[in-house]
Structure 1
Amino acid sequence: MADGHAALSRSAAHETAKLSDETDARFQDDHQAWRDPAGVVAQWQDAGAVDSSLLDAEVTGPWWQILAEAGVTLLVSREYEHLLIALSMASGSPRISYLRLPHPSGIAFDAASVQVHVASTRNPNMLYTLRPADRLLPRRDLDPNSFAGRVLMPASARFLPGSTYLHDLAMIGSELHASAVGENAIVAFPAGGDSRRVWWPSCIEGTTGADFGLNHLQLNGIAAGRSLAESYFTASKDDLLGARPGEIEFAPEARGVVLSGATRLPMTRGLTRPHSPRFVGGALWVANSGLGSIVNCEQDGSSVLVARLPGWTRGLCSIGDIAIGGTSRIIPRFRAYAPGLDPDECVCGLHAVDVKTGRILASLIWPAGNQIFAIEAVPSSLIDRLPFDGLERQPDAERTLFYAWQTASRNHAGEN
């Protein structure tokens, strides 16, 4: 019996030691988890693992010179690659930097408060607010002089139901607005308050009220005026009949519209999956996505071709006499949505277009890229990069940056 007790004791000790080893190993795994700032920001542990080919770019024409002369940093959302990208010449040489976010779509720059809003359109939706940091906190455990630049850093995020289906973002007046595609409406985000519906087209109204319960229209774009009445909105159709946008059987050709904020009715018809309406040099330009073109929509309801670009046109902004238009590849299952394009000829990239002639002056192409949603130009004097270097990750510098960055708002509060 003594031998049996001893054997049991040895077995129990062995199991205890084994369990202790497994617990230690688990602790080490847990201890190392969530150490990459890229993962913490996106709440996605693999966010730091970016295929470098997605950032490799090919340039034609004076692309970087155009950005340098305009003094702007371009922010670009590449939604299906889950990348927010910044392109800048502020340092005197080309710089590509990035931040990974889940399916980023709309981008809006609030010049008054010097912050950037980005829509993240997964379930749930997220609305990120980012602010530039230009120095480090005065810490005794680091060198404050190790920091250089004006880096756009995540400041806050709020969650919304996935059915909101945020797309475009825009500042109208002093408030942030968004196209809530899932609700066929435009919503506003007042400071410190909940989002609220503030505009919708008359076509969703019936005897029982407005239908906010299904995405009937793909109400996706906002051309921001001084008020809602002076703004314009794009949608893939303007009725509640038949197949809905997003369904394979939906026939989009010539069904797209530009809606007037004042009348809540179509001003322009005959477009094919329009996106990214923007005021360019006083004119209303729209990316006529399914035909790979940019058009000027006149007040009389007509549309005039401005330029043809090599892909699904989406994403548009202007910098002086030049407009920057984005092109994307065609998602295979939605080839019917692009009747005016050859999918094999489409590229993912950005194109500088002469506002007066429509001529392409320069392009930046991502050969391994897929889809662009939004483009926003911000002054390089305020924002010159995102936290992660597009050529090579710099873990030590990243950890220091996220450990002690200081935003302008904190500086203004007296924390110098």
Structure 2
Amino acid sequence: MSEPESENGAVHEAQWREVRYEYTPRLADILAHLRATIVVTTYQAGKLLVLGVHDGKLQISFLSFEQPMGVAVGSDRIAIGTRRQIHFLRAAHETAPHVEPHGMYDGCFVPRTSFYTGAIHGHDLAFGRDGLWVVNTLFSCLCTLHEAYSFVPRWRPRFVSQLIDEDRCHLNGLAMQDGRPKFVTVMAEADEAGGWRPNKATTGCVLDVDTNEVVVRGLCMPHSPRLRGDDLWVLNSGYGSIGKVDRAAGRYESVETMPGYTRGLAFAGQFAFVGISKIRETSVFGGVPIAEDRANLRCGIGVVDLVSGQTVAVFQFLSGVEEIFAVDVIPGMLCPLIAGASVDKQERDVWIVPQPGSGE
């Protein structure tokens, strides 16, 4: 993984938190070439990080949410899972030219609705044919939303015998295919409360949602399965790895190793954007391979060129943020304005109202 170069910055988040970071200059070039913006959640810092480009320079903003976890970008909206709610931000791109500084923003997303799920430990989110799919980690199931219920269970692993709030297998990741759930990651084939914890360094699996069969075993705390064409990509998080699954052989093939716990994955063009985290001083990571190098782990985003298999750009936090949760890409926009759900002194309110004569 390449070393960050000299471009750096700092922001003060809340009265006590200074967030310091640095990044390789090539990151802005890659985003400009892709015409894409990266959104990243960090529940530990309570922020949504937005990385865009304006006038060839990286633009960085932090939006406040309560323990943001999963994030999903749709065609006209963004969903952000938080501690007890899922927030929906709707596109209001016609507003962007009118926001100061004029000419900077090429899109706009503003909070419109929130859905109260309770603390279900929602991990990956994904938009599909049936609306938003949520990986409900606490109840070991995939679910959708309905206004009459906290959530609607739609699927669970066959080895989980009942719907109960016990985080039995630590179901955490979701890959979609043709608008439907196709693959998920779990940390163990377990059917008891917290059953994934004892042997988590070797019991991680990828499951096929359609067949409810195991695709590959023996992973270490896997996350973020994604389909790119016919290739199934997975983060073997406990090794700090991004790689592909040979489904016919039932084998995981590492492509690149990062200096951190890998969680959060999105693709754009020939690049993979990978979240990397430091790990907490808790028993959760006992026996996990990357814990042996705890002092040298980093937190940020690594950009992997899928042609070469090498890390070619980095955004790295130096202080204030130690864990990345989810990563997604907003395609076709270099610098959208995104409003947070919990506006603080560093953020701005954005109001959207009907125009006179619109009939609204």
TM-score class, shorter-chain normalisation, is 0.7 to 0.9
Measured against aligned partners, the alpha-carbon deviations of 1:1-25 in whole angstroms (never above 9, x if no partner) come to: xxxxxxxxxxxxxxxxxxxxxxxxx
**Count of matched residue pairs:** 337
AA aligned opposite 2:123: H
Q: Structure 1 residues 269, 147: CA separation in 2 closer, same or farther (over 3 Å shift)?
A: same
Task: Specify every segment of 5 or more residues in structure 1 that has no aligned partner in the other structure, as ranges.
Answer: 1-46, 138-143
Q: 1:330 aligned to 2:282?
A: no
Specify the alignment match of 2:123 in structure 1: 167
Q: How does 1:250-261 map to 2 (within 5 A)?
A: 250-261=198-209
Specify the alignment match of 1:340 in structure 2: 290
Specify the alignment match of 1:49 in structure 2: 14
Taking the aligned partners of 1:226 and 1:414, their CA distance within structure 2 comes to 36
Taking the aligned partners of 2:101 and 2:95, their CA distance within structure 1 comes to 7
AA aligned opposite 1:268: V
Q: 8 Å contact 1:281–1:321 — kept in the other structure?
A: no
SS in structure 1 at match of 2:242:
strand
Task: Specify every segment of 5 or more residues in structure 2 that has no aligned partner in the other structure, as ranges.
Answer: 1-11
Taking the aligned partners of 2:261 and 2:287, their CA distance within structure 1 comes to 10
Measured against aligned partners, the alpha-carbon deviations of 1:245-278 in whole angstroms (never above 9, x if no partner) come to: 4x5xx23111000010111121110101111111
Q: Kindly, what percent of the aligned residue pairs are identical? A: 24
AA aligned opposite 2:143: V
Q: 8 Å contact 2:276–2:299 — kept in the other structure?
A: yes
Taking the aligned partners of 2:326 and 2:95, their CA distance within structure 1 comes to 30
Q: Structure 1 residues 186, 266: CA separation in 2 closer, same or farther (over 3 Å shift)?
A: same
Taking the aligned partners of 2:156 and 2:99, their CA distance within structure 1 comes to 50
User: Which of 183, 201, 224 is the aligned partner of 2:176?
Assistant: 224
Q: 8 Å contact 1:234–1:258 — kept in the other structure?
A: yes
User: Which of 114, 126, 134 is the aligned partner of 1:157?
Assistant: 114
Structure whose alpha-carbon radius of gyration is higher? 1
RMSD: 2.8
Q: Structure 1 residues 339, 284: CA separation in 2 closer, same or farther (over 3 Å shift)?
A: same
Q: How does 1:344-355 map to 2 (within 5 A)?
A: 344-355=295-306
Higher helix share: 1
SS in structure 2 at match of 1:254:
coil
Specify the alignment match of 1:3 in structure 2: none
Taking the aligned partners of 1:218 and 1:145, their CA distance within structure 2 comes to 42
Of 170-179 and 260-269, more deviation after overlay is shown by 170-179
Q: 8 Å contact 1:74–1:375 — kept in the other structure?
A: yes
Specify the alignment match of 2:5 in structure 1: none
Specify the alignment match of 1:238 in structure 2: 189
Taking the aligned partners of 2:190 and 2:346, their CA distance within structure 1 comes to 51
AA aligned opposite 1:127: I
Q: 8 Å contact 1:330–1:338 — kept in the other structure?
A: no
Specify the alignment match of 2:89 in structure 1: 130
Specify the alignment match of 1:215 in structure 2: 167
Measured against aligned partners, the alpha-carbon deviations of 1:75-113 in whole angstroms (never above 9, x if no partner) come to: 1001111111110004542111121111111011121xx
Q: What is the TM-score with the length of structure 2 in the denominator?
A: 0.85
Q: Structure 1 residues 227, 67: CA separation in 2 closer, same or farther (over 3 Å shift)?
A: closer
Q: 1:185 aligned to 2:144?
A: no
AA aligned opposite 1:357: S
Specify the alignment match of 2:6 in structure 1: none
Specify the alignment match of 2:256 in structure 1: 307
Q: Structure 1 residues 175, 136: CA separation in 2 closer, same or farther (over 3 Å shift)?
A: closer
TM superposition shift of 1:282 = 3.1
User: Which of 62, 69, 73 is the aligned partner of 1:109?
Assistant: 73
Measured against aligned partners, the alpha-carbon deviations of 1:333-367 in whole angstroms (never above 9, x if no partner) come to: 13315323411111111011011232001101011
Q: What is the TM-score with the length of structure 1 in the denominator?
A: 0.74
Measured against aligned partners, the alpha-carbon deviations of 1:98-150 in whole angstroms (never above 9, x if no partner) come to: 21111111011121xx00000003xxx1100012334569xxxxxx6756423
SS in structure 1 at match of 2:177:
coil
Q: 1:118 aligned to 2:77?
A: no
Taking the aligned partners of 1:70 and 1:415, their CA distance within structure 2 comes to 38
Higher strand share: 2
